[in-house]
Amino acid sequence: MERVLDDADRTKLLDGDDDRFYRSPRFVHHVDDAFREQLTDLYREVLDAGDDVFDAMSSWVSHLPEDLELGTVVGHGMNAEELDANDRLDRWFVRNLNESQSLTLDDAAFDAVLVAVSVQYLQHPEPVFAEFARILRPGGVLVVSFSNRMFPQKAIRAWRNRDMDGRAALVRDYVDATGAFAESTVHAATDPGRDPFYAVVAPRA
């Protein structure tokens, strides 16, 4: 597995206990309506009916198309109350991926792995993305979406110090470091007055 970040890149402004920071649920939207609509539209493009989905670093919403009948949807996040309120999840679990990067999920168990507006908080993205590759079926898809909003005290330095295009390049580096995906593509929309929409889409080889 290729190393993308150095130790300084992984640092945060607030090094305190992540579990304490995320202990209280936040039943709010972290991006605007336009971003959420674009993300749902993208999911509609890349997902098929019956797909099994892993919603990584999720919360009380998954932004999945309401009219799309999926297979099993498994969620992961940092707050149990938020995950329990998400009616698109068939089951879920809590895990701090900055402490333990392994996922207690079977190999090739999912057709899609989704990461919405949370990738900026991963201090060890290389092994996490390797896990995403492991649990994806051949021909499955990884979708990593993000905007310019974040908790700056919890985002890693490598993310804070890049512009939006640089962040997209960084996520593509995470994908490439696994050696398990075909070439990724970037979907971007930057309308004035709206949250910028970026998503890296990577098909599993």
Q: Which domains does the chain have, with CATH numbers?
A: 18-203 (3.40.50.150)
The pLDDT value recorded for residue 21 is 66
The pLDDT value recorded for residue 24 is 66
The pLDDT value recorded for residue 22 is 64
- What does pTM read for this prediction? 0.94
| Residue-wise burial string across 124-151, b where 16 or more C-beta atoms lie within 10 A, e elsewhere | ebbbbbbbbbbbbeeebbbbbbbbeebe
The pLDDT value recorded for residue 29 is 78
Query: Does the structure show a pLDDT above 60 at 27?
Result: no
Indicate the average pLDDT of the chain.
Answer: 94
Using an 8 Å Cβ cutoff, are 94 and 22 in contact?
A: no
Categorize the per-residue pLDDT at 106 as very low, low, confident or very high, splitting at 50, 70 and 90.
Answer: very high
The runs of H, that is alpha helices, within the chain are 18-21, 33-46, 80-84, 125-135, 157-160, 164-178
Average pLDDT over residues 2-21: 85
Average pLDDT over residues 170-184: 98
DSSP lists the bridge partners of residue 203 as 141
